[in-house]
């Protein structure tokens, strides 16, 4: 079936380095994508979003890149900090009714 | 303060009992969503609603029911037909349609345990 998935379940980076978290999607009809951060026992927290008519969008220390040709989404975190340690999910909006579906998640671990 | 509130934070249910999880938002959002999250897993969509008195099944609706009688409220009932209900349940709301800059907000979740 159509789904949103992630390449790496766990990503370990050194504090201060840049992090790149990847996501593959298979539904070419999806037109809106969101990255969320979830800390243990809490609800997901919005990070950044992008529409399908955009290739790149930047926020504070974060950048989302969308490659529609290969159906690939990535989240780049600059100068990764210990507080960035969490599970990151990508989500896609599909269907006429704004159905929002999530991928399996990547755990980011930041080493001091 | 504006936001989305789930209650209770922890809930225990005996086998065979129905239980209702509360989700309230004062953000004037049209769309609301219920997700289930199992340990170490992603979020799976149970039900979603775009507007009052209307809702659609998500990927894992069996054993669950919802209502949307008011814009600000979207309660989820976990029925006895749900064979493995122990999980973390998350509610979200968003403006409709979802657009850049109109993010979906999540509540802090309800952890349901069957005892």
Q: How close A18 comes to chain B (CA, Å)?
A: 24
Is some CB atom of chain B closer than 8 A to the CB atom of A75? no
Question: What pLDDT score does B102 carry?
Answer: 67
pLDDT in tens, A28-58: 888 889 999 999 888 999 999 998 899 999 9
Chain B residues whose beta carbon lies within 8 Å of the beta carbon of residue A27 = none
The answer to whether residue A7 scores a pLDDT higher than 70 is no
Mutate to test the interface with B, among A52, A57, A97 (most CBs of B within 10 A): A97
Find chain B residues with C-beta within 8 A of A103's C-beta. Answer: 42
Å between B12 CA and nearest CA of chain A: 17
Q: What is the pLDDT of residue A3?
A: 41
User: What is the chain B residue with the closest CA to A57?
Assistant: B100
pLDDT band per the 50, 70, 90 thresholds, residue A21:
very high
Note whether B107 contacts A43, CB cutoff 8 Å: yes
Beta bridge partners of A75: A21, A64
Q: How confident is the model at residue A96 (pLDDT cuts 50, 70, 90)?
A: low
**pLDDT tens for each residue of B56-102:** 999 999 999 999 999 999 999 999 888 899 999 999 998 877 766 66
B38 CB neighbours in chain A (<8 A) are none
Q: How confident is the model at residue A88 (pLDDT cuts 50, 70, 90)?
A: very high
For residue A5, pLDDT beyond 60: no
Q: How confident is the model at residue A4 (pLDDT cuts 50, 70, 90)?
A: very low
Lowest-confidence pick of A4-13, A14-23, A54-63 = A4-13
pLDDT on residue A40? 86
- Torsion angle defined by CA atoms of residues B47, B61, A32 and B41, in that order, rounded to the nearest 10 degrees: 110
Using the Cβ of A8 and the Cβ atoms of chain B, whether some distance falls under 8 Å is answered with: no
Query: Residue A6: its pLDDT value, please?
Result: 41
Q: What is the DSSP string of chain B?
A: ---EEEE-SEEEE-TT--EEEEEEE-S--SEEEEEEE-TT--EEEEEEEEETTEEEE-TT-TTEEE--SBTTB--EEE-TT-S---EEEEEEEE-SS--TT-PPEE---EEEEE-
Cβ count near A51 (within 10 Å) = 15
Mean pLDDT of A71-88: 95
């Amino acid at each position: 079936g159509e789904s949103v998935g992630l390449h790496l379940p766990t990503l370990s980076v050194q504090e201060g380095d840049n992090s790149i978290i990847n996501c593959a999607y298979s539904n070419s009809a999806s037109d809106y994508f969101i990255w969320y951060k979830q800390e243990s026992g809490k609800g997901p927290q919005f990070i950044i979003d992008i529409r399908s008519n955009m290739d790149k969008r930047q926020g504070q220390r974060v950048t989302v890149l969308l490659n529609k040709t290969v159906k690939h989404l990535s989240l780049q975190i600059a100068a990764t900090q210990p507080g960035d340690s969490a599970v990151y999910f990508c989500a896609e909006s599909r269907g006429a009714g704004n159905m929002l579906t999530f991928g399996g998640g990547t755990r980011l671990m930041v080493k001091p | 303060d504006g936001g989305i509130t789930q209650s209770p934070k922890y809930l225990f249910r005996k086998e065979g009992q129905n239980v209702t999880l509360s989700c309230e938002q004062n953000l004037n959002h049209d769309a609301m969503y219920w997700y289930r999250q199992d340990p170490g897993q992603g979020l799976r969509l149970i039900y979603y609603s775009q507007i009052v008195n209307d809702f659609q099944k998500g990927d894992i609706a069996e054993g669950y029911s919802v209502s949307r009688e008011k814009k600000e409220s979207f309660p989820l009932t976990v029925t006895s037909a749900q064979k493995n209900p122990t999980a973390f349940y998350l509610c979200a709301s968003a403006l409709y349609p979802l657009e850049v800059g109109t993010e979906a907000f999540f509540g802090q979740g309800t952890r349901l345990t069957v005892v």
